[in-house]
Amino acid sequence: MQWRFALKYLTSRKSHSVINIIATVSLFAVVVPVAAMVILLSVFNGFESLVRDLYKVIDADIEVTSEHSISTSDVALRQRIEGVEGVKALSFVVERQALLSYRDNRVAVQLRGVDEGYKEVVPIERYTSLGNCEVQLGELDRLMLGEGVAYELGMFSMAAGDVEVYSLGGGHIGSLLPTFALHSEKLDVCGTLVIDQQHASSFALTSLRAANRIFGAEERADKALVKVSEDVPHRKVADELQRALGEEYKVVLREDKNESFYAIMRYEKWAIFFVSVLVLVVASLSIIGTVIMLVIEKQDERLTLRSMGADNGFIRGVFVREGLLIAGVGGAIGLLLGVAITLAQQHYGFVKMPNSSFLVENYPVELQATDLIVIFVVFVAVALAVSVVATSTMIKRR
C-alpha cells in the first residue's frame, strides 16, 4: 500500500514545476557516481587480470624448490610430481644472474634455462614479439631476449650475430684474479619477447642444457615448474604435491608468491571504491531536498491520509519509499550506463592507453558480478538513510 501511494505521489502532477526540476536533478546526481563506480571498479579488475596474465609468462601455476639444487635426472622425483592428480605438465629450469655482451654493449639479466617441456607450462609463445621461442633445436642452443634487453644490446635484427653470455659459476674463485671461474658461451638469438617493462629489460631465456654449461651445474635445476589442469583447484594440487614430496621441498602457488602485490592492487581498488561512496553520499543529499519539497507539496494528501486513520509512521513510510523510488530510478540508470560503457570498452576499446609502448592498446576492463552487487547494496543503504533522515525530520515537524 505504501509503495502504491509513493508511486502515485511521485508521478502525479506537481503544483510547482520547480519540484520536477529538483527531482530530475536529484535523479541525475545519482546516475553519475553510480556509473563511475561501475567503470572504476571494472578498470581495476581489468588491470588486475592483465597483471595476472603477465605473471603467467614468468611464473608457473606451481613452483617447487629445494634448499639444494634439484637433479633433472632424478626419475623418482619426476614420477612423484607427475603422479599427483591435476598435474598437467612439468618443466625443470635454472634461473640465475648473467651478463650478456654484444659488441661494446653489456646488459645484466636474469637468465632462465628451460627444458623442452617449458612451453607446455608457461605460454611463452603468446608473448613472442619477433622470431620464435625455440631455444633448443636439436644440438643447437639459442637465446631469447626481452625486447628491452635486445634494444640495450643494440640488436635490431635476428641476423645481427651471436651474443656472449657470461656467468660466475662452478670452480673456485682465486684470491687475485677470479677469471678462471668465469663461464662464457656464445649463443645465437632466436627471438624477442615482450612482457612488462621490468622483465623486458632484464630477462632472457636459453635452453636448460646451455644454462647448465654456463652456470656449471650439469643435470641440475634450481626449481621445477608445474602446470595444473584447468578443472582442478590449484590449492588442492599444491597440497598434494607437498605431501608427496615431503618437507625437503617447498611448494608455492603463483598467487602466494605474488600475494603482496595482489593485496596492494586490491587495497587500491577498494580505496577508490570508498572515495566513490563518499561522492555518492554527497550526491544523494540532493534527494533530501526533493523529498522535503514533496512532503510540503503533498500536505493536503497527508491530511486526507490522517483522516483515514494513517499515523505518522505510515506517512513517513510513504515518503521514504518515494525517496527510494527517485534514488532507485537514478541508480538503475547509473548501473545500466556503467555496464554499457564498460562492455563497449571491453569489446570495441574506444579509450586508448596514453602510452603507445604499453603492452595493451586499450584500457583493460572487466565486469564482475560481485562488484555490481556491492554497488547495489551500498547504493540502497545510502538512499534509504537519506530518505529516512529527510522524512523523519519533516513529518515530525508538520
Q: Give the pLDDT confidence of 236-281 residue by residue, as tens digits.
A: 999 999 999 988 899 999 888 877 777 888 888 888 888 888 888 8
Q: Quote the pLDDT of residue 174.
A: 45
Strands (E) located in 72-181: 87-102, 105-114, 128-131, 136-137, 140-146, 162-168
Segment among 218-222, 360-364, 372-376 with least mean pLDDT: 360-364
Q: What is the signed CA dihedral for 292, 295, 297, 303, rounded to 10 degrees?
A: -160
Nearest to 151 by CA among 113, 186, 202: 202
- The pLDDT tens digits of the residues spanning 96-154 come to 999 999 988 999 999 999 999 998 998 888 888 888 889 998 889 999 998 889 889 98
- The pLDDT tens digits of the residues spanning 41-70 come to 999 888 888 877 777 777 889 999 988 888
Helix (H, G, I), strand (E, B) or coil at 74: coil
Mean pLDDT of the chain: 81
Nearest to 295 by CA among 76, 47, 22: 22
Q: Output the pTM of the full model.
A: 0.67
- The pLDDT tens digits of the residues spanning 171-194 come to 444 444 444 457 788 999 988 888
The confidence band for 167, taking pLDDT boundaries of 50, 70 and 90, is confident
Q: Quote the pLDDT of residue 62.
A: 92
Percent of the chain with pLDDT over 90: 25
Q: Which residue has the cell 635452453?
A: 207
Q: Please state the rounded mean pLDDT for residues 218-228.
A: 90
- The pLDDT tens digits of the residues spanning 8-27 come to 555 555 555 556 676 677 77
Residue 398 in this model has a pLDDT that exceeds 50: no
Distance from C-alpha of 97 to C-alpha of 373, rounded to nearest angstrom = 47
Percent of the chain with pLDDT over 70: 79
Residue 158 in this model has a pLDDT that exceeds 80: no
Cell numbers describing residue 145: 631476449
Q: Quote the pLDDT of residue 100.
A: 93
